[in-house]
Structure 1
Amino acid sequence: MKKIGAGLIFLVVMCAALSTSAFAKQPYSSYWFPEQLLQWSPASDPDAAFNRSTVPLQDRFVGAGVNSHATKAPKVMALAALNSGTSGVPSQGSDKFGANTFTYWQYVDRLVYWGGSAGEGIIVPPSADTIDAAHKNGVPILGTVFFPPTVYGGTYEWVKQMLRQNSDGSFPAADKLIQVAEHYGFDGWFINQETEGGTPADAQQMKAFLSYLKSHKSTSMDIVWYDSMTKEGNISWQNALNDKNAMFLQDNGKQVTDSMFLNFWWKDLKSSAEKAKGLGRSPYDLYAGIDVEAKGYDTKVNWNLLFPEGEPAVTSLGIYRPDWAFNSAESMEDFFIRENKFWVGPNGNPGNTAGGQAWKGIANDVVEASPVNELPFITNFNTGSGQKYYVRGKQVRDKGWNNRSLQDILPTWRWIADSTGTPLTPVLDWSDAYYGGSSLKISGVLSHDNATHLKLYRTELKIEASTKLSVTYKTQSKPSLKVGLAFADHPDQFVFLNVKDKTSSGWTTETLNLTPYKGKQIVALSLYFDTRDTINDYAIQIGQLSIHNANDPIKPLPAVRELKAANSDFRNGIYGDARLQWKPLDQQVKQYEIYRVLPDGNEVLMGATSNHVFYVPEMRRIDKEAVTVLKVAAVNGIYGQGQASSVKISWPAYPKPTAEFKADRTLVAPGESVTFTDQSTEVTEGWSWTFENGSPAVSTAKNPVVTFNQEGVYSVTLTAANSSGQDTMTKKALITVSKEAGALKNLALGTTATADQRCGEKEGAPNAVDGKVTDNSKWCALGNLPHWLQVDLGAEHHISTFVIKHAESGGEWQGFNTSDYTIQVSSDGTNWVDVVKVQGNTAAETADAIALVKARYVKLIITKPSQGADTAARIYEFEVKGL
């Protein structure tokens, strides 16, 4: 049976950094080892300003609930990896559409930003965009302190460093954890100590550390303890609250932590609940864990032990890895389908979870909460990612993006579509948007017989004399639409306001007067679709719903001041980035939008942030432009754009190219062909090749294919040119033509291999030369860089090619593929010569062909083992091909 240690570490071993292709100036979310944490300060961290949340934790409320089975008392804590890795997480989103834009905040009371690994860092605060999204929805979000088991690289020295205490009784690491949370603006820490080697004295010291955290933190900060370490100091998962771990929750009448996450294998929760009550604590301070990382909604859970039929919930619910929905999905559409089924059940309706299915969804047992309790309330149904970006219906970006800081409050109920016939189908749709990257699409066959009432939001909104409601929509037919409002005095009855039946090809906004309902409180917001005539292909996009007071003092915003482009960086003369900063406006700002002005005068959105700093990601120079203008404009609470400020980025002189190329093989038989691949810098506009004794002998193709008919050793020359100049590269004696080429084989197979490190007994160097990429047969190395793998071929051989099968070849995440490596050869094992040097690789398998060389020993030196900061090397096979 898998222990929790293995389960929790699986995330951090499988989670590595995102690919970081270009610039040193890209700010990333923080992560530390203990000694790094102790040295951290906002003043010395150039990324600290980018990692701060600017969204305060919003109030939210729990309404009556739409599911009669659900109750309000139990809480839900989710431990979710919202980013693909611990390291390499861009601070303000990225240019990728596919991202874990979690949207079911209404069922979560605490979200733990899960992360940490022995190869990257074990102390992980939430990324700024996840803090913003959580806070908009009224959900506290916690960082993680994770001490891994030794089998996964954990070292007890890290525990000792965290628990070090000054003579005055203070804990420096605890003070730093508090400082980080306050500076970045998140809500506490989840402490998970799973490194073996502790003693009873260490357990007491851990309790003192937790008590110090509890007593010195701000009142709004939560400290959560994980059921792992016991009072004896050893690691023993109790799956319960009992005498062995109770002191980490409550000790001698004093709160030590705010709550405890119980391990997954519980078979009786009532004893834990009684133990909590006996300590003077609520049983809902205990979160009974379920592990859904592997199977998601196919996980078998004995729900009746936690939520007994007809009785109050025994404890609260803890969910480990609901990000399964994203990790297992084949597309963003599939992700949203899986996430919906996970949270509201197979029926896709939080109010109807009945049926014979084992997994009924979290909505079956937990009442949803809502932060929609103050005006203005505006939603564009923006998920926080998109394939494009729109501003008031105008497309201002044509490529993918994600930034959870921009996520709107999405519908409380997904979906309650009531109809006496077959209801219309609602989805969050990325094909079109009014503001942001997505909209609400409702489609199907519409007739009077299947009029559909789509309930969307639970609200607490007070209507004043000037309160207006606006709906922005787009449809090819008549809208056939009404807006529904339920009021506090009759919460189950809806009043429907007519939207005029006018046809328009573009976005249409209609404003409805709520004056007749002055003084009432809106408790639910819905849409109603009906028509006298049947519309077989009815489809409508709802781009925005807005309820605001017309006389609110929301004025157009002025231009930002003191706009600077700090630390601009350029690569190859055609790529540039910049860190922008400006003085934040005193007025209420929804977000700041950053645009690039193109040479033709058009503007493209680079991104948006609620912060006053922004990283402008990779810009490609356009038509040798000398200057690029960037604009920043503030957007107010009703999405009105203010005046723009601008700053200029000056490009360096347009560069001449640098020539480089590779051959797919360097040892061939007479009559065989070689494919040459140009690797010159991107500014190359023309190519001139010369192939000694090749056919053709010259070429102007970018990637020519050349046949060599006669035995011998031949050189290849490439000249790369553009309007600024040219560069020539000659590789002498590159191609060997020999009748013996057919005898080429993997010389490393089954030979003696040694390495600097191994991750475990079954992950040693011999695995890299055993010919297997299945059964997890790999060489893995932890520890200090560089890592190295050395192969003794047994005798000198003529070597032509090296093939490396990286992590992805063995089924692991592509972020673990080796980025930077060097290959050396030697005849005596002492004197080495570099023959291959690769930087920035992302491929699962690499083949590096070289001019034929004679050697007995080969050494692979890995200087950057992954796409981010993970320092673990993962090589499934290292092939040395030759004669």
Structure 2
Amino acid sequence: MNLTRRQALAAALVATAARPVTPAPTDLQPYASYWYPDTLPPGTPPPGVRRRSLRAWTPAGDPDLAFNRATVPLAPRFVPPPPNSTARRDEARISALAAFAPTSGNPSQGSATADYYALTHWAYLDELVFWGGSSDEGLILAPNAPVVDAAHRNGVPVLGTVFLPPTAYGGRLEWSRDLVRRDADGGFPLADKLVEVARAYGFDGWFLNAETGGGDARLGADTRDFVAYLRRRGGPGLRVTWYDAMAISGDIAWQNELNDRNSPFFRAADTMFLNFNWSRTGLTSSGELARSLGRSPYELWAGIDVEANGWDTRVDWDAVVPAGRPHVASFGFYRSEWTWKSLPGTDRGPAAFHARDDRFWSSASLDPARPGTGPWRAPAASVADRSTLTSIPFATTFNTGHGLGWYERGVRVADAPWNHLGLQDRLPGRRWVIRTAGAARPVVGFDFADAWRGGSSLLIEGVDGVESVDGRESAFPSTVELYAARLPLSPATVAELAHRTEPGSAAVRVELAVALDEPDRFTYLPVGALPAGGSGWTTTTLPLDRLLRGRAAATAHVLGVRLTAPDGGRVRWRLGELALHDGPPVPPGPPDAPTVTASARNPDGTAALRLTWAPARRRTGPLRHYELHQVVPGGRRRFLGGTCGHAYYVPALRRTAGEEATRIEVRAVDELYTASAPASVAHRW
């Protein structure tokens, strides 16, 4: 890795150490976990930093484990036919290294801001690395539960990070030796700890980045054996990715290719992330060597550093994913959160972030079916997307995992901004494939000014040329493809939509678009006509039996909507919910035994609480998450938050009207957003 790149990395790590999130006035706030292998650095840690040893960690002694444990299982995925002719189904894949927050002070379950890296383009990822670490804070990072739960819902494994920094930036060789120290039987106790952490926290493996210089051949051999031991002990459910830094000699020598100096680590690991200065010939020889070892060349990630320049990064794409012959390797984005970090200070709103993120992953055309050409070859141009939509019930409210408020059935029940990726829905993977009869395209995107449920909805805007508004070409009728799927339909299957027109919109005729036997051949079912000018939310239940045409079953391969403006004019139509199910939902059973396990008074008179509960004794099907509300005198409810796990931290419970006790209700919410009866607990003031 060249000096400029290393300096940039070091600067980011120093900044991470210098900007911990200010802890809450109490010590109850749970944070994402980070450790040193064993030996702690000398001196006093920076404010807000908790220095801990992984060797000393145990699940029973971890007071934050319940708040950091991911609970959503890793969903199986399939590869639908790509929307364009250049994306490949069985060749290159993508890994991304992303820093969602500083190493220290990263709240376990989201926070009160919408200014957050709410990654949603899971369809193109094969693994996500939870990136971070610094010599002043800790070197081993366990990903927090919201990130893992969101990724797992979309079939993407998440890796924690083990970072051994260069000596010039605080790295100490003893940390490398601590990590790979053997026990009396020749095993590696800290490898066992890494396996135990991954299993206890519910994530999928480790990204190993050893960059501390001064090692020797003994350290190189021990590190190779450590990697092999970690992979073997973790079994098939634990992934290990090795970063191309340490050579088998123990030296730090970035090879930028797979060769004899680093192949022992590749053989020991599942995949290798190649340093960024690769070349065409180097990648070609790397693929040949991988094949000679009985491995796929797509288990090599060709590193692409987008931290500084994002889609303006210069990349020799044809060296990795050539258009006219098989792909040479996979590729790995370093710091894909550039789309968030580089937002201008004048507009750091969530809608602005998603517009930039869509451009990064889908291309400047914002249509993966027509990714176009240019210096930035977006993932959609080369890599086939994947989907987890294979079973019913399925529902989405287009909730991106952050927002400016919280909505329930179209009513705003909380006004504070928030983020919690564990509450994110499965979102459209192809943003945005649009079929229109006119010359113009409608604008499609996530919007945060209103929602049916959660914090966001889908907004489609455009002009019908009947009135030639602003001289623009017609954008309607248009079919917007939303989901690639393999959803089984029966005569009992119904679709539900919650939608509305916005003030100032023309009238809109809405149809559900479903492709059965062929992904590009739609049947359109009328949903209804909405009047001009905005009319509030409308919910529609639509039987799908007419799609089957007498058959006992069929499979929906694509779901979408078609909009028409019968009277012309400007269209602003919002979709808040899309659901498919085979019958009336049965409410899940309520959670069991909610308990306030700790509380403290904040200086402003509010209370900080830790709550836990057990799963329902009566199970009716898969749960999506749990939601917590405060019961306000008079019977109104105030939304406090949600989580996929069985513990939640409330940072500031507000007392109302001098009440002696405040009742908190916990509800289980299933895949159709059907809530259980509440289980209650009281906090006495």
Contact preservation (8 Å) 1:74, 1:317? no
Correspondence for 1:525: 559
TM-score, structure 1 normalization: 0.71
| Cα distance in 1, alignment partners of residues 425 and 559 from structure 2 | 16
Cα distance, 1:634 vs structure 2: 1.6
The aligned residue for residue 795 of structure 1 is none
1:338 to partner: Cα distance: 1.6
Deviation of the 1:95 alpha carbon: 1.2
Structure 1 distance, partners of 2:590, 2:289, is 59
Measured in 2, the distance between the counterparts of 1:154 and 1:74 equals 37
Map of 1:10-21 to 2, 5 A cutoff?
10-15=11-16, 16-21=19-24
Pairwise CA RMSD: 1.6
1:485 equivalenced with 2:542 (yes/no): no
Q: Which amino acid aligns with 1:440?
A: L
Q: Give 2:587's match in structure 1, choosing from 544, 551, 556.
A: 556
Partners of 1:3 and 1:155 in 2: CA distance: 22
Report matched runs for 1:256-275 at 5 Å: 256-268=268-280, 269-275=283-289
Q: Which residue of 2 aligns with 1:631?
A: 665
- Give the match for residue 295 of structure 1: 309
Distance 2:87 2:340 in 1: 26
Partners of 1:543 and 1:646 in 2: CA distance: 29
C-alpha separation between the residues in 1 aligned to 2:679 and 2:560?
39
Aligned to 1:230: 247
Using the size of structure 2 for normalisation, the TM-score is 0.91
What is the rounded CA distance, in whole Å, between the counterparts of 1:603 and 1:294 in structure 2? 45
Q: Work out the CA distance in 1 between the residues paired with 2:14 and 2:328.
A: 33
Matched residue SS, 2:521? strand
Which residue in the other structure is 2:539 paired with?
509
The one-letter code matched in structure 2 to 1:390 is Y
Q: Which residue of 2 aligns with 1:840?
A: none
Question: Distance between the aligned counterparts of 1:75 and 1:93, measured in 2?
Answer: 33
- CA 1:324–1:162: 2 relative to 1, 3 Å: same
Count how many residue pairs are aligned between Structure 1 and Structure 2: 641
Look up the equivalent residue of 2:524 and give its one-letter code: F
User: Structure 1 residue 426 and structure 2 residue 438: aligned?
Assistant: no
Given candidates 319, 322, 346, the residue that maps to 1:308 is 322
Aligned match of 2:226 in 209, 214, 225? 209
Q: Which has the higher strand share?
A: 1
For 1:456 and 1:292, locate their aligned partners in 2 and report how far apart those are by CA, in whole Å: 28
Shift of 1:532: 2.6
- Contact kept in structure 1, 2:173 and 2:213, CA below 8 Å: yes
Q: Which amino acid is 1:301 matched to? A: V
| C-alpha displacement of 1:611 | 1.1
Q: Distance in 1 between matches of 2:486 and 2:433?
A: 19
* Larger CA Rg, structure 1 vs 2: 1
Q: Equivalents in 2 of 1:161, 1:77: separation in Å?
A: 32
**Which deviates more from structure 2 when the two are superposed, residues 146-155 or residues 625-634?**
625-634
Distance 1:361 1:192 in 2: 27
SS at match of 1:490: coil
Deviates more, 1:597-606 or 1:506-515: 597-606
Shift, 1:623, TM fit: 4.8
**3-state DSSP class of the match of 1:498?**
strand
What is the one-letter code of the residue matched to 1:542? L
Partner amino acid, structure 2, of 1:464: S
Whichever residue aligns with residue 526 of structure 2, its letter is N
Letter of the structure 2 residue corresponding to residue 483 of structure 1:
L
The residue type paired with residue 488 of structure 2 is: K
Report deviation, 1:496: 0.6
Question: 129, 135, 150: which one pairs with 2:167?
Answer: 150
Report deviation, 1:509: 1.2
- For residues 510-555 of structure 1, the C-alpha deviation after alignment (integer angstroms, 9 at most, x for no partner) is 111111324211111111111331123x21110000111116xx42
When residues 625 and 143 of structure 1 are mapped into structure 2, their CA distance, relative to the original with a 3 A threshold, is: same
Task: For 2:170 and 2:657, locate their aligned partners in 1 and report how far apart those are by CA, in whole Å.
Answer: 50
Partners of 2:200 and 2:647 in 1: CA distance: 15
Once residues 262 and 10 of structure 1 are traced to their aligned partners in structure 2, the CA distance between those partners, rounded to angstroms, is 22
- Quote the Cα distance in structure 1 between the aligned partners of 2:635 and 2:566: 48
Return the letter of the residue paired with 2:477: A
Which residue identity does 1:167 align to in structure 2? A
- Out of 260, 281, 285, which is 2:295 matched to? 281
What code does the residue aligned with 1:2 have? L
Whether 1:343 and 2:372 are equivalent positions in the alignment is no
Partner SS for 2:303: strand
Structure with more relative contact order (C-alpha pairs < 8 Å, separation 6 or more): 2
Residue 631 of structure 1: CA displacement? 1.3
- Match of 1:619? 653
Whether 2:197 is the aligned partner of 1:175: answer no
Does the aligned pair in 2 maintain the 1:447–1:532 contact within 8 Å? no
CA–CA distance in 2 between the matches of 1:435 and 1:334?
A: 20
Distance 1:281 1:556 in 2: 48
Residues 192-591 of structure 1 correspond to what in structure 2 (within 5 A)?
192-250=209-267, 256-268=268-280, 269-330=283-344, 331=348, 332-355=350-373, 357-419=374-436, 420-446=438-464, 449=474, 450-476=476-502, 478-487=507-516, 489-503=517-531, 505-516=535-546, 517=548, 518-536=552-570, 538-550=571-583, 554-572=585-603, 574-586=605-617, 587=619, 588-591=622-625
Could you tell me how far 1:391 is from its partner in structure 2? 1.2
Alpha-carbon distance between aligned partners in 2 of 1:641 and 1:240, rounded to the nearest angstrom: 52
Quote the Cα distance in structure 2 between the aligned partners of 1:511 and 1:524. 19
Whole-angstrom distance in 2 between the partners of 1:558 and 1:353: 46
Which residue does 1:610 correspond to in 2?
Answer: 644
Distance in structure 2 (CA, Å) of the matches to 1:509 and 1:148: 55
- CA shift, 1:19, in A, is 2.7
- Which amino acid is the alignment partner of residue 587 of structure 2? P
Instruction: Please say if residues 435 and 543 of structure 1, whose CA atoms lie closer than 8 Å, have aligned partners that are also in contact.
Output: yes
Q: Which secondary structure does the structure 2 equivalent of 1:369 belong to?
A: coil
Q: 1:459 to 1:10 in 2, by over 3 A?
A: farther
Q: How far is 1:5 from its partner?
A: 4.1
Question: How far off is 1:325 after superposition?
Answer: 0.6
In the other structure, the counterpart of 2:72 is: 55
Give 1:525's aligned amino acid.
L
Cα deviation per residue 1:390-439 (whole Å; 9 max; x = unaligned)? 11112211111110000011112111222223222111001111110000
Q: SS of the residue aligned with 2:352?
A: helix
Counterparts of 1:619 and 1:384, CA distance in 2:
22
Among all aligned residue pairs of Structure 1 and Structure 2, give the percentage whose two residues are the same amino acid. 39
1:648: how far off?
Answer: 1.6
Q: CA deviation at 1:329?
A: 0.8
Shift of 1:622: 4.1
1:75–1:626 CA distance, 2 compared to 1 (3 A): farther
Shift of 1:10: 4.2
Amino acid at match of 2:680: S
Within 1, Cα distance between the matches of 2:581 and 2:11? 47
Over residues 616-667 of structure 1, what are the superposed CA-to-partner deviations in whole Å (9 max), with x where a residue is unaligned?
A: 121344454432221112222211122112222122xxxxxxxxxxxxxxxx
Distance 2:351 2:553 in 1: 41
Tell me the alpha carbon deviations over residues 227-254 of structure 1, each in whole angstroms, 9 at most, x when there is no partner: 000011110100000111111112xxxx
Give yes or no for contact 2:24–2:651 (8 Å, CA) kept in 1. Answer: no
Distance in 1 (CA, whole Å) between partners of 2:229 and 2:576 is 49
Letter in 1 for 2:582: N
Where in structure 1 are there 5+ consecutive unaligned residues?
251-255, 652-883
Q: Distance in 2 between the 1:76 and 1:395 partners?
A: 40
Task: Tell me the equivalent position of 2:85.
Answer: 68
- Other structure's SS at 1:632 match: strand
Name which of 92, 97, 111 aligns with 2:114.
97
Counterpart amino acid of residue 457 in structure 1: Y
1:2 and 2:41 matched: no
The CA distance in 1 between the partners of 2:591 and 2:244, in whole Å, is 49
Q: Is the 8 A contact 1:112 1:141 kept in 2?
A: yes
What secondary structure does 1:133 align onto?
A: helix
CA distance in 2, matches of 1:82, 1:102: 11
Contact 1:17/1:84 (8 A) holds in 2: no
